[in-house]
Chains A and B, each alone.
Chain A
Amino acid sequence: MAFPSLNLLLQSILSGIFIGGMYGLIGLGLGLSWGLLRQINLAHFGFVFLSGYLSYHMVTVWGIDPLLTLLILAPLFFAIGVAQQWLLSRFKISPFNSLLVTFGFTVMIESLIQYVWTADFRKLQSTYGEEKFKIGGLFVPVPELLTLLLAILLAFAVWAAMRFTDIGKAMRAMAEDGPIAAAFGINQRLLSLLLSGVCVAFAAIAGVCFALTFTLTPTQIFSWVGVVFAVVMLGGLGSAIGPLVAGIIIGVSEAIAMVLFAPSWAPIVSFSLLILMLLFRPGRA
């Protein structure tokens, strides 16, 4: 274990915070649908990648600005989310079976991506994709900063909506006890459709950020499952701010583990945290 220089340490903590923003952004929609709809939507990861590829396609083939693709993709994925929820509620899928069904969707999405864009690596090239600036010796890449800001913005927007709007309160009531909430006049069906749409639209936003920051390849879909699950569970199911906080905690601890030991040791951090939490505070989930 070689002790790194202070600057290197700070730089990796910063990149840990940024990757944590990505974890939090992906985890937000996943945790909301898990906590409030009782659906473990594995397809969330598929949607993130599909959105990333679509954004890549629009930018490189049609020459649209990456941020503008958000305006097209978010509504489109909202509709996909509504459709998926309609299907799952139509067949009264249990939480566990939702995991299996959405795994099926993910495999189909993966095949679709592989068919359209092949298994090669794809990198979205944009004007600000490579941009970075320097604050006091630390490099700050623009796309990562954008991801983090979006993650914070969305997390707080959801938190405020849940707390202060009628729809948000109705959703919390529905999550607590669906049939009782329905008996008090809450339109459970409509709310579920809406919520699922929002969650998948969040996946689309995460996907665009992902494409800006990372290289795309279809087989990567499943490699994010584990760590984002850990983030969601640590942050608390159905929580708005929790996944972001947990994401940053995990991101930073991974980054520190990478500098102190070796990059290949990083996964053990998030999963050890998850295992410890499941064992000692299983009530969180």
Chain B
Amino acid sequence: MNKVILSGIFAIGLAFAVLPWLGVPAFWESFLYLLFHWIVLAVSWNILSGYTGYFSFGHGAFFGAGIYGAAYLAGTIGWPFLATLPAAILVAAALGVGLGAVVFRVARVRGELFALLTLAITFVLATIILNTRIDGGPGIYLIGVDIPKLGPSQSASIYMMGLIAAVATLAISYIIYASKFGTGLFAIHDDEDVAEVMGVPTYRYKLYALAVSCGLAGLAGGIHAVFISYVTVSETFSIAVPLSVVLMSILGGSRHWIGPAVGAVFITCLLYFFTSGDYAVFGRAMVGLILVIVILFMPSGVLGMIAQWRRGRSTAAAVTAPPAHETASTAAVVRLANKPAPSTEVLLQVRGLTKAFAGLRAVDNVTLEVRKGEILGLIGPNGSGKSTFINLVSGHFKPTAGEIIFEGQNLAGLDAHRFAQAGIARTYQIPRPFSQMTVLENVAMVAMFGGTGMSRAEATQAAEEFIAFAGLSHRAHALPDDLNLHQRKFLELARALAARPRLLMLDEVLSGLTPSEINEAIEMIQRIRDRGTTIIFVEHVMRAVMALTDRIVVLNYGAMIAQGNATDVMNEESVKAAYLGKAHA
């Protein structure tokens, strides 16, 4: 976290705080207030939707909950206004968390569905408020409400409240952006399933982000209630709020902490100067046109474009000089341990593990154990249940029946991130890196969340070592899309290692590699084991299975048909039959 940026936010805030005492005209106070208002709304929207990729069209609902929270308490019941603001924050945040607690349980509610669901919530909330005593139809007046004196005049006081909210929102946005929490949110954005398997508590993180986002929208609403001093359902819950904040964030760049603020300033100025006077209609049309042009020509927003341009320059400089010793075998080896003696101690015990998909038993009553320090080969024909087995032991699938006992603790039924925290890591057959993070960020992210977890600074340092181990140092700042398959496979490995797992599951790491690349990979897997990591090795390349494994387990149609020493197992009749078919003659 950069202290300079944080103090910068507060310094600029202080500079703006002096304005009311310099005798600025009230017009500027209310204009700047509107600017702050939209900054709070856009930036708070971005904390959930920009960071995690869950686009919400329900920001109007949370904003409206804040407005009506404050308006009802101050205007109708007569609370002192300042006391209504925390209430507005709480009401909006509670609404968001209540919604999220239900919605995020449904794994398929993502993307467009989440957006529509939040839009629908807005209409439902508006209908309820309109038809109950909260509003009842005529709207609520806040003319008589006493506003705390924060400035020389009433408009200055509202200005000051807007300013404080904007500074707080920007600071929170930056702190989250630069924290481990923020990294987890970005991982959810890129690939939520992988993030969970790598140790990010996705459900909890989404709820936290939603709570912060909604709470800040509620605050903006509460303050806005006194600014407009007369609130109605049709104005509050109009489609303008959710669409404006989306537009502002996309325009500024929704992957950046300050992007939405840039967009908010731009759009607010545009609307203000165009829509006052005779050209209001053209102003709106202009906003529409700008939205179209922005999405067509720069879908990652202004700050996204700048970031791309800067990254383009830095990688152009870095890629030109690949290291002389490019191969992984000569790269620096981290904390190389002595080869452990073969052990009889059980690390993982799987009992009666079963996974049924609508009748099909992809894994059927498998019982096996993995001993500390060994490489266990898991083989079987395509469709025999190897990948499902890995998905079960990494927690991605919840078993239909059975136990997964890792170091004495039964993990079956827990969320995937608990598996990662317990010390289990995996690679994906088809590499699934976080596409918007650089190689270094990808590995650091896993170091932060896997196993016992590290702070962001420690994780970045550790990530550099693991990248060197995988021979990717010269590509540390490249995006995964710019890597070739071989490099992406090694990134998968580096990322799994960064979790410092005690059990590592390698899912067909060798497929698609050339023979010389396979040799390199085999050597690397041996070095991983030499460091004391136990490995489950799923592979079709039999040469590698024979060279690496201590024992193998054969699956067929989800059931275990053989286990033991590699050479013996491969000679068993049932195994031959599974691979080659039975002779019926």
Indicate if the CB atoms of B116 and A108 lie closer than 8 Å.
no
Cβ-defined contact, A95 with B112, below 8 A: yes
Q: Which of A12-20, A188-196, A269-277 contacts B (4 or more CB under 8 A)?
A: A269-277
Contact with B along A106-128 (1 / 0, CB 8 A): 11101110110000000000000
In the assembled complex, which residues on chain B have CB atoms less than 8 Å from the CB atom of A226? 119-120, 123
State whether the Cβ of B94 lies closer than 8 Å to any Cβ in chain A: no
Rounded to whole Å, the gap between the CB of A181 and the closest CB of chain B is 22
| Distance A111 CA – B288 CA, assembled complex (angstroms) | 9
B contacts with A: majority SS: helix
Task: Report A246-280 residues with CB < 8 Å from chain B CB.
Answer: 262, 264-265, 267-268, 271-272, 274-275, 278-279
> In the bound complex, do residue A111 and residue B285 qualify as a contact, i.e. CB atoms below 8 Å apart?
yes
Kindly identify which residue among A93, A112, A262, A278 contacts B285, using a CB–CB cutoff of 8 Å.
A112
Q: With a CB–CB cut-off of 8 A, which chain B residues contact A265?
A: 127, 131
A23 at the interface (CB under 8 A from B): no
Contact with A along B227-249 (1 / 0, CB 8 A): 00000000000110001001100
Residues of A within 8 A of B290 (CB): 104
| Residues in A neighbouring B297, C-beta threshold 8 A | 91
Answer whether A275 and B124 are a contact pair too, CB < 8 Å, given A107-B287, A110-B284. Answer: yes
Give Cα A225 to B120, complex, Å: 10
- Nearest-neighbour CB distance to chain A for B390, whole angstroms, equals 25
Interface majority SS (helix, strand, loop, mixed), chain A: helix
Q: Are B116 and A268 in contact (CB under 8 A)?
A: no
Nearest-CB residue, chain A, relative to B114: A278
Cross-chain contact A267 with B123 (CB below 8 angstroms):
yes
CB <8 Å contact, B120 and A104? no
Interface hub of A97, A114, A262, A278 (most chain B Cβ within 10 A): A278
B295 engages A100 (CB within 8 Å): yes
Q: Are A91 and B109 in touch, CB under 8 angstroms? A: no
Contact A282 B113 (CB under 8 A): yes
* B282 to A: closest C-beta gap in Å: 7
B103 at the interface (CB under 8 A from A): yes
B341: CB under 8 A from chain A?
Answer: no
Instruction: A101-B291, A230-B120, A264-B137 given; name 9 further pairs at CB < 8 Å.
Output: A94-B299, A100-B250, A222-B239, A267-B123, A268-B124, A271-B120, A271-B124, A279-B106, A279-B109
> What are 18 residue pairs bridging A and B, where the CB atoms are less than 8 Å apart in the complex?
A40-B112, A91-B296, A93-B296, A97-B299, A99-B115, A101-B291, A107-B287, A114-B281, A233-B116, A264-B130, A268-B123, A271-B121, A271-B123, A274-B117, A275-B121, A278-B120, A279-B103, A279-B106
Hey, which bits of chain A sit against chain B, CB under 8 A? 40, 87, 91, 93-97, 99-101, 103-108, 110-112, 114-115, 222, 225-226, 229-230, 233, 262, 264-265, 267-268, 271-272, 274-275, 278-279, 282-283, 285
